[in-house]
Amino acid sequence: MLKRTLIGLLRSHETTGDKAKDPLLKTRYYKLPKDQVWEEVTAVLKKTPGYKLLHEVQNVGEILAERKTMTGRTQDVTLTLFGINPVKTAVDIYSASRGSMGDLGSNYRTIIDIYKQLDRKLASYKIEG
């Protein structure tokens, strides 16, 4: 966590992907159709305090949300859902803080928090890459 805070002094964004060095930032895969994962993701964001859904583009697979941090800063969070096949969906997240200062690791924590909630909700459907 200290390393993330130090990185966050300079950087004000964080992203996930298959090649992420940090296992917590690796793309999540669920054994469910994209539409079902979409419903779960939007439900998680709607019920989580501090998040506001801004835009949903289902045919592209993008959900845009905004999150207010405890320090009053605003983060723009983009979740991208990819239908790998009819019963397998991938979820990636990009989070960026508005403003020029670093985020002290808060974008990292935002991503981890969203993934934790999804993993808990979809535990029986989670699959490794």
Task: Write the pLDDT tens digit of every residue in 4-28.
Answer: 555 556 678 899 999 999 999 999 9
Number of domains in the chain: 1
| CATH number (domain holding residue 64) | 3.30.310.220
Percent of the chain clearing pLDDT 90 (strictly above): 78
Where in the sequence is the domain holding 103, given as residue range(s)?
2-127
| Strand 62-68, strand 126-127: pairing | unpaired
Instruction: Give the pLDDT band of residue 127 (cuts 50, 70, 90).
Output: very high
Q: What is the average pLDDT score of the chain? A: 90
DSSP 111: H
Judge residue 23's burial from the number of C-beta atoms within 10 Å of its C-beta, 0-12 exposed, 13-18 middle, 19 or more buried.
exposed
Structural Rg of the chain based on CA atoms: 14
